[in-house]
Structure 1
Amino acid sequence: MENVLPPAEELRLLDGELAQLDARRAWLLGRRAWLVQTLQSAAHGPAGPTRPTGPVWPSRPSRPAGPETSPPSAQNVLLALGGILLTIAAIAFTLVSWGHMGIGGRSLVLGAVTVTALAVPALLLRRGLTSTAESVAALGLVLTVLDAYALHRAALTQTDALGYTAAAAAVLAAVWAGYGSVLVKLRTPLPAAVVAAQLPLPLWALAEGEGLWATAWATLATAAIDTVIALAAKPAAVRGLAVAGAAATGGWSLLAGLYLSVTAHTTALALEPALLLLAAAGLALGAGWRAPSAAPVTATVAGLATVAATGALLGTALPEHWTVPGYLLCAVLLLTAARTPAPRGILTGLGLASALIHAGALVWALPHAAAAALTPLASVTDVWSGTPAMASPPPGTPAALVVMATVAAALLAAPRLLPAYALPRTPMSAAAFALAWLTAFAVPAALDLPYAPTVAAQLLTTAAALAVASASSRAADAGAVATAAGAPGRAVGVTALVCGPAGALAVALLALGTQAATFAALGVLAVASGAAAVRARGAVRAVLASATVVWATGLAGAGAAAAGLPAHQAGLVLLAVPAATALLAVRLRTRPVALPVELTGAAAGLVAIGLAVPHAPTLALVLAVAGVVAAGTAVRPERRPVAGYAAAVLFVAATWVRLAASEVSVPEAYSLPVTVPALAVGLLRRRRDPEASSWTAYGPGLAATLVPSLFTAWGDTHWPRPLLLGAAALAITLIGARQRLQALLVLGGTVLSLVALHELAPYVVQAVGALPRWLPPALAGLLLLAAGATYEQRLRDARRLRDTLSRMR
């Protein structure tokens, strides 16, 4: 509503504002006089002026109390309430009190009131009372609805309700539109006419009972009317309602047409919904052409509707499971239409519609393609059980692969088809490669090939992915820029590096069906990975080289299994892999690929140790051989800090396991001959290299005797062994403390503590059994309290001990 005030009200408002300005001016003048007096007093003496003892000038002038609401707001509220009350009264008059007056009289009264309500706003607008005119006009519009209802109840009771409502809505929309066009200052009639115009055609279609198709055509015609109104109307409210109406009615038509087209089983049944969808597409495209700001959205809708129409017609002629490829073909044709000389917004919408169809088709095809790629694995029920009978692929696999290949081609072609949109070529190329690789990997299953051709085809696909990864790394290392005809880009290389090992793992598992396939697949994978690693660069080379070691380990294990060796003896065979990688690393030496190769070989060594665990004698031998390999690696200065410790641990572990396997009751007879020369060698090294760690010099020799003796002492019921072991541990501890040798101090102290605990354990158990049950918790509580009380001091002591040990060699 407009806030136009009557002259008297506006005059009162202006007088109030002027009074406030006068009060503010008086306060400012008083403040100015006081400031002038202050400056003058400061110039004549230091005392300065004294502020008056009376009331000080207020920080802000006091404003007279005014009304809490402005007159226009109050006016609007009153007008709105009045209009609502009159509307309620009119409804009650029409619906409730109809029987108290004759039909003719009641109709005349209601008609006279309606005419008066519609005529009064013109007079009010001439006098400038726009808000009042708006309220009265709204009442008049409601009364016209009541007039239509009264007419039906009074004279047209035999008329169909839906048909009459449709006709009444059409008449009311026309009347309101004309009324609003005459009285252009009124803001209610034209939007009301737009709302009423949504009803006639759909209600007429429902009244005729022609079914869903007639209603869809009626709503589409209504959407066309709304589109014309939205393009031609000037008031924002009218345009907004028209756009909303077009979206609602047009959306209903599209959904109805899509449902009818999807459920159609013959071309004849699909023709009519196709025409409906094409008509909706034409309407949306025309709207986008006339309104460039809405063109991307409307063109997207037009593109989707066109694909839905043509795809449904094509799908009725295609076999089962080929409907989605039919829609995708229409989307591809739509993508080529993006090269036409149309506005940019239209082209953007059409391209987006095609992309959405491609994405939907891909979502449908991916599960089918993945299932087809993994279908051969379901045929292998046991290792080397014979040539398996290949399982049938899921239904729809060929169609899914066609979709995958089509989407991959579209991804590669899109940057060329739409050069003005600067599409990201690198991710699109990577996605295209992934789709193409998965399609090729699933082709053997889709064609229902036998076992051997399937293995061969998947090996070829995997080798191709490894070659692409190698070529991409070489191109990236040279600084080349990937193009469609040149070397693959970095993103394509990363994708290939993921696809290659994944395919290799799948085909290796598939090859377990027969012995020949296993050796062939593992050999091809090892050669392909090795060749790709030789030509690759950077991190790709390290990954491919490590994969080569993995497949070589598989070959060694397969060879051991083919020879009929048990698992623990197969562990000895697998030790050839870490030995070979250690020798290869000597040649590679400072190259970045050396460390990944050695680590992968070390992982193969761990597998070998795990296989030998059930057989102790073989485990001791495996540990000893692994120690030799580690010792050979420790010859290289850059590997010595890690490999030296590993060799010592492996040798000591091999000794312990061998003694345990031989059930030796006096391990010292075997360990001391090793410990003495080991300590002598350590002493000589410490003399040559005072910076050498005591763990490297003395740790292996001491552990070779102390640890087996400790395990034996814990199972010995006699006292001489614990006594001698404890005495030796005490001596070692004292020597370590005196010479400040960390290895001696830690090993001797640990063994001495464990021996003492072993000897005191029976007495502790006996004493605990004799104590009251409440005493251990009480002692534990006291211990916690004491620890808490001296917590900070204990931390300092622990740090001091740590620093002392760290300073030892």
Structure 2
Amino acid sequence: MTNLPPPAEELRLLDAELWRLDARRAVLLQRRAWMIHTLRSAAASQGGQDSGAGPAAWPGRDSAVTHRPETTAPGVQNLLLVLGGVLLTVAGVAFTLVGWGHLGITGRSLVLGAVTVGTLGAPVALLRRGLASTAEAVAGLGLALTVLDAYALYQVVFTGTDVLAYTAAATAVLAGAWAAYGLSAGSSPATDAPGEEGTDQQAARLVLRLPLPLATATAHLPLLLWALAVGAGPPTLTAVLLVTAAAGAAVALRTGSAPVRIVAVVGSLGTGAVGVVSAGLLTWSASAPGTAARSAALLALAAAIALVAARFVPKPDVAVGAALTAGLCVAAGTGGVIRVSLPGAWTVPGFLVCGVALLAAVRTPLPRASRRGLVLASLTVQGLAVAWAVPVVAGTLLGPVAGMGRPWSGVPRDFRAAVFTDVPWPPHAATVPLVLTVVAGVLAVVARRGAERRPSAAVGALVLGWAAVLVLPLVLELSYGAGLVAQGAVVVGALGCAEWTRRATDAASPLTLTAMMLALVTSVALALVSLASEAVTIGVLVVLTLLFGAAGPRPGTGAFAAPAALVHATAMACAIGASIGLQPQHTALLVLVVPAVAALVAARPVGSSTTVPVEGAGVAAGLLALVLAATDPPMLALVLSLGGVIAAGTALRRERRPVAHVAAVLFLLATWLRWAAWDVTTPEAYTLPVTVPALVVGLLGRRRDPALSSWTAYGAGLAVTAVPSLFAAWGDPHWLRPLLLGTAALAATLVGAGNRLKAPLVLGGVVLALVALHELAPHVAQVVGLLPRWAPPALAGLVLLALGATYEQRLRDAQRVREAFGRFH
């Protein structure tokens, strides 16, 4: 509640206060000097009597204890003033209601009126003395007393009057009185007394800030209370709210006081928002054109208020928001009249037409912010209309998914029944294509005229136009065959649009990519719809494969078209296999044709953007083939072998050489599965197909890089066969496997020794020793059985003693060497 004076007056006050502080400081410095002299004299007189006494404590800044204030002086002042005003107000309420009962309400009213007059007059005198904050507190008390006066007047004079009517009149009178009091309280002229010239000039400039905001807030109540008192209906109450909002907006735009402006803006926004919501509810609940027209008139009033505010508001963002609100109100009101005048299916188109009509504001002389807000309102209405149509489009695309669980169940009665199998058709979906077409047309116009928005607007127009054409066969309830043809035409049209835009821009523009994506989505939906009939399914998949295959070689679109052709070809292979009665494992052979074709297509041209997508589609088809053949091991082995052939062919390309490892793995898995299918349990049958190629690769690697380690070149290949065979030999009672494994180990040892290769030498020697130990194990066991029981522990002890002695001897040799080197120093 601290009321600061104008800058010039405040500067004068600061100068005076600084002068007083300087004078006070001079007095304090003189006093300090006298105190220091006194203390020094006392210390000198005590020095002779007590020479051992320490130095006297001289006063100074270091010895002073400073306490930091926890609050500011203005804060304490305001708190005291507020508390005083509140307590006095509570006392006044208690006095009016229950105090001084022997006086009666009339006597209390007279006393309270006299106190109120005196209280309201006190702030003027306080302002003359420059006590603005105190004046504000006393004025607040006086304003609260006027409310109590109004209550006392009702109890004395207007006892039988309706409470709402009296409250409306009282708030109107109080708002006017408070406004007049606030305007006149601070305009008192200065007196001519020579000693109070500066104070009177300050009082002439100070005003009370509390009465005018309170008057503004109270002024929002009388009209609404009067309408409630006379029993007005919802339309009248809504009109009252809007008129009150308009008055608040006018005050906010014309006042120069910031507190008054804030209160007026908050009140205007609050009453205006409630009025707009009420008018919208009345429009939505109207059941006759006349009622809807009255509600539309209320929304038009709200729109006019918002447009006027947008014109005079200095802030552009606020002006845009006000114009946006105005546009939405106009669209809602006009659309509400159309809603009750036309069938239900035309409600959304009616609102859409109103929203599109708002775009005419672009050609009007309205301010730029207002035009921008109206355009945003139009876009909002169009966006809501498109959102209303989205469920129908989504149902058209996702509805056929339910048919995957019952393929080839029979031709439905029409195309709508084929799409919406488990979901009911929306009752008011007949105008969905119209709504989508209108918004698409608007975006197309924007794309042609707005250079900065051309790409996004063109993409939006293409998507909405595609959605309208996609839904149209369902709205027209075409037959099943006609609907398939129409949806196929959408695929062809999307592909054609993609090719046309590619040629126009000579690059893969956003419009080209969008058209390709729409073609892909439509083709998937068409393939799902075709599942109702066997012949139709195969025919549609063949056509889709050819369409996307023809679009595949073209640059810019091939990255989408070629993989799509392979996906449709995979589905076609599965459909053909099911049609001719093949088992899933045999259908896998048909599916493998797709990876083979993908490998051939990806081989040329080198570096094309279609290479990776095509290879990805081929890999996916290959995995599907493996899944189909998983239940039949022999067939799965065949599929793996054919996959290995395809991978080996791909590895012939220089940039795909690492695929050779995939081919080797596929061949190995195929071999293992074949052995398992033939009930082969010999481990060498599974390990030798790995060892032989691994040794060949190691040999070639050593020739290309002589520095390559023998462990890297031959270690893995030798261990793959040697380790499993060694385990099998130890459990094999026959002589053939140990003989063959020992012979192979001896050969590896000799080769390693002759070529000085560590891996064959170590692995071969270890395996040979273990095989020999296996062969001698029965005889060793027989000899051990003849020895006494203490012989093995004794033998182990001797070994440990020998190792310990050897270790000690080595330590002594090291110590001698260190001593010999030490003598050199």
TM-score bin (small chain):
0.7 to 0.9
Cα distance in 2 for residues equivalent to 1:600 and 1:68 = 75
Cα distance in 2 for residues equivalent to 1:161 and 1:725 = 117
Alignment of 1:122-521 (within 5 A): 122-184=124-186, 185-293=207-315, 294-378=318-402, 382-389=406-413, 390=417, 391=420, 393-414=425-446, 419=450, 424-472=453-501, 478=506, 490-521=509-540
Shift of 1:244: 0.9
Shift of 1:555: 2.5
- Decide whether the 8 Å contact of 1:284 with 1:299 is kept in 2: yes
Return the TM-score normalized by structure 1: 0.77
Shift of 1:318: 2.2
Amino acid at match of 1:178: A
Cα distance in 1 for residues equivalent to 2:669 and 2:349 = 64
CA RMSD, aligned part only? Answer: 4.5
**Cα gap change, 1:20 to 1:396, in 2 (>3 Å):** farther
**Cα gap change, 1:192 to 1:603, in 2 (>3 Å):** closer
Shift of 1:450: 2.4
2:628 corresponds, among 599, 602, 611, to 611
Cα distance in 2 for residues equivalent to 1:213 and 1:612 = 74
**Cα gap change, 1:519 to 1:740, in 2 (>3 Å):** farther
Cα distance in 1 for residues equivalent to 2:274 and 2:739 = 96
- Decide whether the 8 Å contact of 1:732 with 1:744 is kept in 2: no
Alignment of 1:529-608 (within 5 A): 529-537=548-556, 540-608=557-625
The more displaced of 372-381 and 305-314 is: 372-381
- Decide whether the 8 Å contact of 2:668 with 2:690 is kept in 1: no
2:669 corresponds in structure 1 to: 653
Amino acid at match of 2:426: P
Cα distance in 2 for residues equivalent to 1:634 and 1:564 = 35
1:7-55 CA distances to partner (integer Å, 9 max, x unpaired)?
A: 999977743355558999999xxxxxxxxxxxxxxxxxxxxxxxxx999
Amino acid at match of 1:550: V
**Cα gap change, 1:750 to 1:496, in 2 (>3 Å):** farther
1:626 corresponds in structure 2 to: 643
Cα distance in 2 for residues equivalent to 1:338 and 1:599 = 50
Cα distance in 2 for residues equivalent to 1:11 and 1:548 = 93
The more displaced of 727-736 and 422-431 is: 727-736
Cα distance in 2 for residues equivalent to 1:749 and 1:190 = 108
**Cα gap change, 1:582 to 1:374, in 2 (>3 Å):** closer
Amino acid at match of 1:2: N
**Cα gap change, 1:91 to 1:703, in 2 (>3 Å):** same
1:214-243 CA distances to partner (integer Å, 9 max, x unpaired)?
A: 221111121122122112211111111111
1:600-626 CA distances to partner (integer Å, 9 max, x unpaired)?
A: 324323332332332333333333333
1:107 corresponds in structure 2 to: 109
Cα distance in 2 for residues equivalent to 1:8 and 1:690 = 96
Amino acid at match of 1:494: L
Amino acid at match of 2:144: V
- Decide whether the 8 Å contact of 1:114 with 1:143 is kept in 2: yes
Amino acid at match of 1:524: V
**Cα gap change, 1:452 to 1:88, in 2 (>3 Å):** same
Shift of 1:357: 1.9
Cα distance in 2 for residues equivalent to 1:413 and 1:492 = 16
1:675-712 CA distances to partner (integer Å, 9 max, x unpaired)?
A: 999799779967975679999998999899889x8699
- Decide whether the 8 Å contact of 1:706 with 1:751 is kept in 2: yes
- Decide whether the 8 Å contact of 1:729 with 1:749 is kept in 2: no
Shift of 1:124: 3.4
The total of aligned residue pairs comes to 715
Cα distance in 2 for residues equivalent to 1:194 and 1:380 = 68
Amino acid at match of 1:657: L
2:51 corresponds in structure 1 to: none
1:725-745 CA distances to partner (integer Å, 9 max, x unpaired)?
A: 754775587579766989989
- Decide whether the 8 Å contact of 2:410 with 2:532 is kept in 1: yes
Amino acid at match of 2:273: G
The more displaced of 241-250 and 379-388 is: 379-388
Amino acid at match of 2:276: L
Shift of 1:517: 1.7
DSSP-derived class of the 1:535 partner = coil
Amino acid at match of 1:269: T
**Cα gap change, 1:552 to 1:64, in 2 (>3 Å):** closer
Q: Confirm or deny that 1:16 pairs with 2:21.
A: yes
Shift of 1:140: 1.9
Cα distance in 1 for residues equivalent to 2:500 and 2:29 = 84
Cα distance in 2 for residues equivalent to 1:327 and 1:752 = 92
- Decide whether the 8 Å contact of 1:398 with 1:446 is kept in 2: yes
Residue ranges of structure 1 left out of the alignment (5+ in a row): 28-52, 480-488, 760-809
Return the TM-score normalized by structure 2: 0.75
- Decide whether the 8 Å contact of 2:362 with 2:375 is kept in 1: yes
**Cα gap change, 1:169 to 1:499, in 2 (>3 Å):** same
Shift of 1:249: 0.8
The more displaced of 433-442 and 200-209 is: 433-442
- Decide whether the 8 Å contact of 2:447 with 2:455 is kept in 1: no
1:454-473 CA distances to partner (integer Å, 9 max, x unpaired)?
A: 22222222333344445555
Shift of 1:533: 2.1
Cα distance in 2 for residues equivalent to 1:315 and 1:400 = 16
Fraction of identical pairs, as percent: 43
Residue ranges of structure 2 left out of the alignment (5+ in a row): 33-54, 187-206, 776-825
Q: Which has the larger radius of gyration?
A: 2
